[in-house]
Amino acid sequence: MGYTVGACTAGALLAVVAGLALGSWRGGTAVALGLLVGATNGFMARKAVGADLSFRASSMGRLAILSAVGLGLGGLLGLQLIPLVLIGIAAAQLVLAVAATVTAVRA
C-alpha cells in the first residue's frame, strides 16, 4: 500500500500544480482530493479482510463510502467539479490495482 499512497500523493501534488498552471485551482484540487480519498481504499480493504462480511459486500460498501465522500467534497468545491473528484477516486483505484499486480508478480 505504500506504493499506492506514494503514487496518489505525487499525483495529487501534480494535479494541484497543473490546476494552478492552467488557471483552474479548484479543478486541480478536485482531482487531488479524489486521489487522496481513493488511496484510503487499500487500508479499508485490509481491515475488511478480517470482517465477518463477505469481501464482495465489503467492496461495494467501501466503494459506496468513497463515492459518497467524493460527492460531498465535490459539492463543497462546486457541483460542476464532482466528476473531477470521482475521476481522482477512480484513478486511485487503478493505481491500487497496478500496485497490487506488481506486488503479486514479484512475490
Q: Give pLDDT, residue 42.
A: 86
Which pLDDT tens digit goes with each residue over 26-78? 999 999 999 999 999 988 888 877 777 787 888 888 899 999 999 999 999 99
Q: What are the tens digits of pLDDT across the range 4-29?
A: 899 999 999 999 999 999 999 999 99
Prediction pTM value? 0.90
Give yes or no for residue 89 having a pLDDT over 90.
yes
CA 73, 85, 70, 44 torsion-angle sign: negative
CA dist., res. 70 & res. 88, Å (int): 9
Whether the pLDDT of residue 80 is over 70: the answer is yes
Kindly list the domain boundaries of the chain, sorted by start residue. 2-106
